[in-house]
Structure 1
Amino acid sequence: MATIPLEGIAMTSFGHVLKDIRAARGMSQASLALSLDSTQRHLSFLETGRSLPTSSFLARICRAMDLNIAQRVNLYEASGLANPYTRRDMESDEIHAALDMIEKRVLANWPFPALVLDPDWNVLRSNAVFDQIFGAFMPQGNEPANLLEVMMSEMFQGLVQNWDQAAGVMFYRLQRAATHSPRIAKVLQAAQSEGRFAGMEQHLGELGEIPIFLPIRIALPNGPVMELSSLLGKLASCQDALIEGLEIELMVPLDEPSEQAMRADG
């Protein structure tokens, strides 16, 4: 541990980042120090900039706090130490290869609609079943379609037979996503101001006992009614902040007629 003289000490960038992450986790200096088999004094020195971390201690912090890759990248870059996590560009060959792998190995083998979404809910990949069923409702162009903007449109909501019920499912998921995406936060705020979610609390109150699944019931024009939910996943062994931030959405039919309709369309 390198110690900096007291004169002129100011909280370092590393100290700011570490303190912010710790506070967001609701951890005290004492509890983090205990999990690191260190001392509160040592943590205080790191956060105020009086000390700088070694590579081995920084690796211990990442493990002890179970930081995601994006947080690790930020912490390493703030420390000034060699960063083992490459910050790749979305247009890089490596990222495209990773997306192609997910599309080929996951989406193509899922029998129902499936997507890969970035943190802003831009559709980066979709399977043939999704394109067959929902492709007509997605905007076309060079830029990726944004699933959230489609779902918040009057056109899409006109397809949802149980919007007030489905709105509650969407709202809380979007609220969580908005903490990581200013774009989602903006769209969500606009949708709230337009009254898109106005009926959800009353509807949930009328349900009495909440069922295990609250489906989204979609009636396609001149087509079947489908009751859907989704499985949301990430690759567990991912070591890239961009890929770790992606969400794989696998749509699930909740009854036999919905499954038959999806398989027939796919």
Structure 2
Amino acid sequence: MTSFGHVLKDIRAARGMSQAKLALALDSTQRHLSFLETGRSLPTASFLARICRTLDLNIAQRVNIYDASGLANPYAQRDIRSEEIHAALDMIEVRVLKNWPFPALVLDPDWNVLRSNSAFDQIFGGLMPQGNAPPNLLEVMMSEMFQGLVQNWDEAAGILFYRLQRAAAHSPRIAQVLRTAQSQGRFTGMEHHLGELGEVPIFLPIRLALPNGPVMELSSLLGKLASCQDALIEGLEIELMVPLTEASEQSMRGLAGPK
């Protein structure tokens, strides 16, 4: 079986699709797909584009399947240290983070903080480790220090656990941090608390009490740029923190200072 055949079969299996079902979606035949998966045929550029469009492959998957096909790959594989990626991060910082009045971050798939705005630095900078390497938000949030600041940890643990569980499927580092946190009992009260809730409210805030500061109820907006065509940038997450109460908003604006 060719490399392309392996990749195509893996994508098809991950979608729970038979050869016949995928062939129908691609307006092709099961025989053609069988030949592609066994290496008896190679895809044309137009058919490969049709696979990407029909299966709605993300950029990383498109890079992978184009590389496996042997065809010219239109998706550049850039290095995180390249000038182009640096410029893209600068654009996100200037156009998005600096225009958000509350704390905001750009995180890589391992939750390393690649960019932050002044509101985040002023409110949470003291909680982040110092050094040349980008601070890791997850390691901070899983620490005893951070847990001690969260007044409703059992509530917040449920929010964090399911988000981390999804991220851990694509990041060995997050998977390891999650396993360590579980072994340390960070999530032991989560199931019991959820069982006591009855009807779950629309928002479950993180109720955070900063040292010698106010109590703030927070959530986050998570986003990506819809027109992104780079696998590295597509893998980043823009996190915009949101105060859930008027008092929390006033506290955050006061701590962040003037824009």
TM-score w.r.t. the length of structure 2 is 0.98
**1:161-176 counterparts in 2 under 5 A?**
161-176=151-166
CA distance in 2 between partners of 1:36 and 1:225 (Å):
54
In the comparison of the two structures, how many residue pairs are matched?
Answer: 256
Given candidates 191, 194, 198, the residue that maps to 1:204 is 194
Percent of residue pairs bearing the same amino acid type: 85
Asked if 1:77 is matched to 2:74, the reply is no
Once residues 73 and 251 of structure 1 are traced to their aligned partners in structure 2, the CA distance between those partners, rounded to angstroms, is 32
2:109 is the counterpart of 1:119: yes
State how 1:85-96 maps to structure 2 within 5 Å: 85-96=75-86
Deviant stretches of 4+, over 6 Å: none
Q: Distance in 2 between matches of 1:22 and 1:133?
A: 46
Q: Which residue of 1 aligns with 2:246?
A: 256
SS of residue paired to 2:149: coil
2:229 alignment partner, SS class: coil
Alignment of structure 1 residues 1-266 onto 2, 5 Å: 11-266=1-256
**1:116 shift after superposition:** 0.2
Match of 1:3 in 2: none
- Structure 2 residues not aligned, in runs of 5+: none
- Supply the RMSD in Å over aligned alpha carbons: 0.6
**Distance apart, 1:71 and its partner CA:** 0.2
* Deviation digits for residues 239-259 of structure 1 (CA, Å, limit 9, x no counterpart): 000000000000000000100
5+ residue gaps in structure 1? 1-10
Report the alpha carbon displacement of residue 23 of structure 1 after superposing the two structures with TM.
Answer: 1.1
TM-score between the two structures when normalised by the length of structure 1:
0.95
In the alignment, residue 36 of structure 2 is paired with which amino acid?
L
**Which range moved further: 22-31 or 237-246?**
22-31
The whole-number CA distance in structure 2 between the counterparts of 1:91 and 1:148 is 22
Instruction: Give SS of 1:158's match.
Output: helix
Q: CA offset at residue 32 of structure 1? A: 1.2
Task: State the Cα distance separating 1:48 from its structure 2 match.
Answer: 1.2
One-letter code aligned to 1:46:
L
How big is each residue's C-alpha offset from its partner over 1:97-154, in whole Å with a ceiling of 9 and x where there is no partner?
0000000000000011100000000000000000000000001111000000000000
